[in-house]
């Protein structure tokens, strides 16, 4: 393999800047497979939020709460929800207007893709394999035994350790560290500052001294996973830390050693999952949820923000609070906490009255 490759990697690619796409309303409707109402030849030149849209833009409304915005917008067309009775603007009807709009954003503003090749300033081991259709940016390092799949993009200043495997059409943003033996699937995105495969936090006490436990496992990430900025996913002590296909991990999340996260699970910002815990499929852990180690969370579980989960949670549960309880119980607890100041004031007043009555009773008896 080439150690210092072609000069054009990251130098060219899909143009960033002003959108040049122009489509008629009819063309858009056909692309989305939806019904059009309005002039077929209406030219659409951009996409925008409905408050900021101008002439030539298409926007969207998701429900009746936002219908008043249709009277104020300068958009040329809108995507609307099914069952709308009246719309003064040319429009397209969708069962999911937001999803349809997202598809249009990708059409009008396609993701930047650099040309294939390896930057002359990148360092790639002769024992690494980089697909001819992949791109490797300036000052990136790829160690022996690593492989980069077809159409993948390694941005500048990325570290890729020994025997790392990266699949097809995966994008690694600048200043990511992917440490030895990590496996990342197809169509993944890893954002800047993420560290994948760092040592798990494992120590054993020997007469008051903390002795490091070797972390000889790895991290395995499935397909279609997005890893946010400054996320840390620790390698396993033995075996693998597993992130299932379709997971979306927000910024500043920590996944500890030997954790298993099921498919299509969402980990929102600042979630922390302690070692050897299992998270099921299709779960949502909201911001700053903390999960204890060596427990099991079932499928389709939702944890409200800041929940602290110390024990197993069964399938389909919705929990909140510290320690986490059912969401209904947590709401009752919160309501009780809100009432506490008034209750304490009432108790103080009652204590005064009891004291007065007791003193009077004592005087009458004497």
Last residue in a domain, options 53, 88, 108: 108
State whether residue 335 is helix, strand or coil: helix
DSSP per residue, 235-298: PPSSSEEEE-TT-EE-TT-EE-TT-EE-TT-EE-TT-EE-TT-EE-TT-EE-TT-EE-SS-EE-
Per-residue model confidence as pLDDT tens for the chain (366 residues): 343 344 455 555 544 445 678 999 999 999 999 999 999 999 999 999 999 999 999 999 999 988 899 999 999 999 999 988 789 999 999 999 999 999 999 999 998 889 999 999 999 999 999 999 999 999 999 999 999 999 999 999 999 999 999 999 999 999 999 999 999 999 999 999 999 999 999 999 999 999 999 999 999 999 999 999 999 999 999 999 999 999 999 999 999 999 999 999 999 999 999 999 999 999 999 999 999 999 999 999 999 999 999 999 999 999 999 999 999 999 999 899 899 898 899 899 899 899 888 888 877 776
Residue 126 lies inside a defined structural domain of this protein: no
For the question of whether the overall pTM of this predicted structure is more than 0.95, the answer is: no
> Phi/psi class of residue 120: alpha, beta or left (left: φ > 0; alpha: ψ in -120 to 50)?
alpha
CATH number at residue 221: 2.160.10.10
- Asked if residue 131 belongs to a domain, the reply is no
Catalytic residue among 91, 191, 254, 257: 257
Q: Is residue 259 part of a domain?
A: yes
At 14, list the tokens.
């899909």
| Residue 257 annotated as catalytic | yes
Task: Compute the distance between CA of residue 104 and CA of residue 274 in angstroms, rounded to an integer.
Answer: 39
Q: Is residue 153 part of a domain?
A: no
Work out how many domains the chain is built from and give that number. Answer: 2
* Domain span at 311: 176-323
What are the respective helix, strand and coil percentages of the chain, to the nearest 5?
A: 20, 30, 55
Rounded to whole angstroms, the Cα distance separating 34 from 139 reads: 46
């Amino acid at each position: 393999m080439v150690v210092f490759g072609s000069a054009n990697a990251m130098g060219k690619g899909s143009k960033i800047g002003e959108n040049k796409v122009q489509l008629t309303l009819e063309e858009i409707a056909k692309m989305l497979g939806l019904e059009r109402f309005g002039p077929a030849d209406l030219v659409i030149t951009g996409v925008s939020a409905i408050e900021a849209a101008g002439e030539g833009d298409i926007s969207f409304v998701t429900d009746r709460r936002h219908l008043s915005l249709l009277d104020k917008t300068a958009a040329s067309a809108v995507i609307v929800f099914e069952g709308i009775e009246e719309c003064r603007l040319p429009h397209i009807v969708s069962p999911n207007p937001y999803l349809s709009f997202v598809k249009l954003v990708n059409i009008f503003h396609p993701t930047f893709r650099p040309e294939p090749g390896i930057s002359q300033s990148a360092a790639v081991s002769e024992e690494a394999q980089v697909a001819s259709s992949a791109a490797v940016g300036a000052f990136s390092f790829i160690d022996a035994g690593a492989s980069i799949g077809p159409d993948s993009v390694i941005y500048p200043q990325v570290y890729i350790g020994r025997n790392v495997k990266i699949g097809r059409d995966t994008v690694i943003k600048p200043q990511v560290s992917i440490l030895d033996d990590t496996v990342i699937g197809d169509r993944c995105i890893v954002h800047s500052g993420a560290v994948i495969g760092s040592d798990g936090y494992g120590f054993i006490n020997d007469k008051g001294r903390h002795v490091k436990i070797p972390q000889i496992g790895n991290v395995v990430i499935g397909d279609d996973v997005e890893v946010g900025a400054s996320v840390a996913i620790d390698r396993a002590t033995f075996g693998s830390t597993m992130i299932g296909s379709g997971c979306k991990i927000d910024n500043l999340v920590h996944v500890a050693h030997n954790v298993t996260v099921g498919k299509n699970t969402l980990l929102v910002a600042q979630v922390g999952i302690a070692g050897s815990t299992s998270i099921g499929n299709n779960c949502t852990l909201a911001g700053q949820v903390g999960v204890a180690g060596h427990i099991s969370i079932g499928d389709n579980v939702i944890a409200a923000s800041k929940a602290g989960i110390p024990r197993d949670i069964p399938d389909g549960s919705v929990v909140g609070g510290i320690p986490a309880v059912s969401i209904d119980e947590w709401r009752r607890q919160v309501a009780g906490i809100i009432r506490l100041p008034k209750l304490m004031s009432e108790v103080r007043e009652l204590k005064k009255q009891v004291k007065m009555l007791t003193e009077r009773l004592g005087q009458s008896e004497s």
